[in-house]
Amino acid sequence: MSAHAPSYGLLIGGEWKTPAGSATFSTRSPIDREPVGHFVAGRPEDVTSAVDAASAAFPGWRSTPAPARGTILLRAAEILRRRKEEVAQLVTREMGKVIAEGRGDVQESIDFIEYMAGEGRRLAGETIPSELHSKFCLTVRQPKGVVACITPWNFPTSIPNWKIAAALICGNTVVFKPASNTARCAAEIVRVYEEAGVPPGVLNFVTGSGGVVGNALIDDPRVRTISFTGGVATGREVYVRGAQGLKMVHLELGGKNPVIVMDDANLDLALDGVVFGAFGTAGQRCTATSRLILHAGIYERFLARLVERVGKLRIGDPVDPKIDVGPVASADQEQKILDYIEIGRREGATVALGGKKLTGGAYDLGYFIQPTIFEARHGMRITQEEIFGPVLSVIKVGDYAEAVRVANDVEFGLSSAIYTRDVNRAFQAIDDLEAGITYINAPTIGAEVQLPFGGVKNTGNGGREAGSVAIDEFTEIKSVFIDFSNRLQKAQIDTI
Ligand code: UN1
């Protein structure tokens, strides 16, 4: 089935433009390689125009009361709720996640926009005592100015919204550059904000490559904050480049998320969690379970059940609600995952299930890989590097201490989980696991928007998205001292 593939321009200063002479590119469905949308390949001068527009719109948006900004966001959430099914279908078509997860992607967007709309009536500062008499101290939050939001393809609506809604409620103006292979989902999100009444220039949209559009955004001295989600190699480049301009660079990067299953766990529950965590979204989440750290006492039993369960997953057209696992998102993704499967084999890991590209019939049209389970040893590359696909490495451990050592001995630290019925051990794991997120008796995926999201070590550079702390990324804090003593008071001098 080939659906209509519309063309989109760039949104600059409230107008959709297709600059004369610009090159174009298309997104294609990973299901069947049919075109989904056609887009402008933005050039550096387009980025300059977008930043011009965002700069011009900033004073007006900054001075719009935050609750009024929140009203516009609420309207955006309502529009998206109305369009939920249509946008979810688009997510599934353009990116390939199964339709239940396509709906989840859009729902996560709605949830977060609503949450941030409420933030318009908080945006709280602090009151803090002064060391002097008749002096009042407080902090206020102020917007940063023009911010750049650079987003990945795996959550093509919700990650953009995590950034855009938080940036807008704080009074910033935005230039948004989405991943090129999910540009239509991104364009539809921009239309939602447009329809909701975001004023011209407040949200600008420039499609194109990271090397051209992304770099031009990072280099523009008027862009003070860059919010980036993507791979660790690109994240490092973004950080270094942004550092030249002394910019605040917010990075959400990779994961190598472990699930520990102890011998006292509810194994039925753990099985459900591992299957969903590892093979949901075909493993293409930063939070995906990519390592199963399995206690020796249950190793054979659990692995046998896991292989049986995963072997029954239905792989195919993600639009069909009976399908469990869709295609991976692109030819590049497919190649990278197949390369890692080969690396695992060469390293001597045992393929317990899968390990191949699916071929024949409709599989030949897209990028389908068998859910793959390796019996691996800690230290192999497949247990250390982010694969971002339906590949799970199972590692045997003798006890809790070894499980934690293995869990922590990777460069990343985004999500983590432990299945156990021992309440003391569960609390101990919260202390011990080096990760921004820890789940007890639940899979590594499925974070909720009202909690901070982010990780430690090479997963980022210390920031968090979502939750109420999302506003830290997009506000400057001003300290205010109000002296009502009517005389000169000297801090640090009059006080001793
Ligand atoms: C991501 O993969 O970058 O926690 C985001 C989850 C989702 C978000 C994942 N709510 O799995």
Specify the 3-state DSSP secondary structure of 294: strand
Question: What gap in Å lies between CA 420 and CA 422, rounded to an integer?
Answer: 5
What is the arithmetic mean of pLDDT over 434-458? 98
Catalytic residue among 286, 375, 465, 473: 286
Q: How far is CA 432 from CA 79, 345, 427, 429, in A?
A: 43, 31, 9, 5
pLDDT digits (tens, 9 = 90+) for 45-62: 999 999 999 999 999 999
Task: Assess whether pLDDT exceeds 70 at residue 191.
Answer: yes
List the domains of the chain with CATH numbers. 2-253+460-479 (3.40.605.10), 257-440 (3.40.309.10)
Task: Assess whether pLDDT exceeds 60 at residue 284.
Answer: yes
Supply the pLDDT for residue 3: 59
The CA-CA-CA angle for residues 221, 224, 228, to 5°, reads: 115
Task: Assess whether pLDDT exceeds 50 at residue 218.
Answer: yes
Q: Which residues line ligand 1 (CB under 6 A)?
A: 108, 154-155, 285-287, 445-447
Q: Is 252 a catalytic residue?
A: yes
69: Cβ contacts below 8 Å, ≥ 6 apart? 61, 120, 168, 169, 171
Ligand 1 pocket mutation, candidates 149, 154, 155, criterion most atoms within 8 A of CB: 155
Ligand 1 atom nearest to CA at 284: 2
Q: Specify the residue for token string 């820890």.
A: 438
Paired sense of beta strands 127-128 and 135-143, if any: antiparallel
What is the arithmetic mean of pLDDT over 152-180? 98
Phi/psi for 13 (5° steps) reads 60, 35
Question: What gap in Å lies between CA 298 and CA 270, rounded to an integer?
Answer: 12
Q: What single DSSP character describes residue 283? A: G
C-alpha dihedral sign at 251, 252, 253, 256: positive
Residue bearing the CA closest to ligand 1, atom 3: 286
CA 435 to centroid of ligand 1, rounded, Å: 14
Rg of the chain on CA atoms, in Å: 24
Give which of 251, 320, 284, 374 is closest to 92, Cα–Cα.
Answer: 320
CA 446 to centroid of ligand 1, rounded, Å: 6
Q: What percent of the chain has pLDDT over 70?
A: 99
Task: Assess whether pLDDT exceeds 90 at residue 36.
Answer: yes
Q: What single DSSP character describes residue 465? A: B
* Single-letter residue type at 132: L
Catalytic residue among 252, 334, 375, 473: 252
What is the arithmetic mean of pLDDT over 80-91? 98
Give which of 403, 471, 460 is closest to 437, Cα–Cα.
Answer: 460
Please say whether the beta carbons of 226 and 147 come within 8 A: yes
What DSSP element (H or E) covers 391? Answer: strand 391-397
Per DSSP (E only), the strands in 193-247 are: 203-205, 223-229
Structure tokens at 83: 């369009």
Supply the pLDDT for residue 1: 40
Question: What gap in Å lies between CA 26 and CA 257, rounded to an integer?
Answer: 33
Ligand 1 atom nearest to CA at 447: 4
Structure tokens at 473: 């990324």
CA 229 to centroid of ligand 1, rounded, Å: 11
Q: Is 185 a catalytic residue?
A: no
pLDDT digits (tens, 9 = 90+) for 379-410: 999 999 999 999 999 999 999 999 999 999 99
pLDDT, averaged across the chain = 97
Question: What gap in Å lies between CA 87 and CA 96, rounded to an integer?
Answer: 13
Ligand 1 atom nearest to CA at 448: 10
CA 480 to centroid of ligand 1, rounded, Å: 37
CA 453 to centroid of ligand 1, rounded, Å: 8
Please say whether the beta carbons of 471 and 169 come within 8 A: yes
Question: What gap in Å lies between CA 260 and CA 420, rounded to an integer?
Answer: 9
Task: Assess whether pLDDT exceeds 90 at residue 4.
Answer: no
Ligand 1 pocket mutation, candidates 286, 290, 333, 387, criterion most atoms within 8 A of CB: 286
CA 231 to centroid of ligand 1, rounded, Å: 14
Ligand 1 atom nearest to CA at 154: 2
- Residue 265: Cβ within 10 Å count: 23
* Single-letter residue type at 308: E
Sequential DSSP letters for 129-171 = --SSTTEEEEEEEEE-SEEEEE--SSSTTHHHHHHHHHHHHTT
Ligand 1 atom nearest to CA at 415: 4
Task: Assess whether pLDDT exceeds 60 at residue 186.
Answer: yes
